[in-house]
Structure 1
């Protein structure tokens, strides 16, 4: 069960009801905590591997982008959408089974730009990758 901020606007809650989109659903991403400053989600390695059987580097990025985008959307509120404008990842360790956890921490939460760092770890707490993402907050109403 995902923990949302107590003051999350109902419009944002409705947007998040689809688990952040079709791709996070396909990849088995499960959100634990969602907030502008701090978010946590996990994802299975199984089903998200590349040809040699380790977690695909793109899967790391999808987990990171999912967390960074939802965290930015929470910061922006119901009148804005978060649009990713930059993302990068450094992979430092591989994994071939189990679950990974992404922990997203805000670096900067501004009026129009949000930057988050997402650290992805294995079940033993070993860092597998570091993702940094910047979102533009686009006014929709």
Structure 2
């Protein structure tokens, strides 16, 4: 494992996308729900992982290697580049500033509407704090 790609495991749409990655995109990264990782040890906050997918490069001991953490479309670009093959050029394209400039608003729109996406549920629309409090009252 050279990196970890974190997604929101409480979101059905995000989990569906992660399953697609695991089945179809041969990345060396650990594709994991952030709820099952020690995000503080990875240098991340709950607000960051709740806002966007994250890509964290790791050293041989499994700790962040000091490179900047990538979020949203930049994280997806890193995952695609890491996968190689036909995915590498797509990741390289997504990494370009003009493409990222368009990708970020699109990513934010999808994130705001993930409950309406295929596989999404009403719980996908709630911020993490509200999902946590709903669990506590169940």
Normalized per residue, the structure richer in strand is 1
Taking structure 1 as the reference length, the TM-score comes to 0.27
Taking structure 2 as the reference length, the TM-score comes to 0.28
Normalized per residue, the structure richer in helix is 2
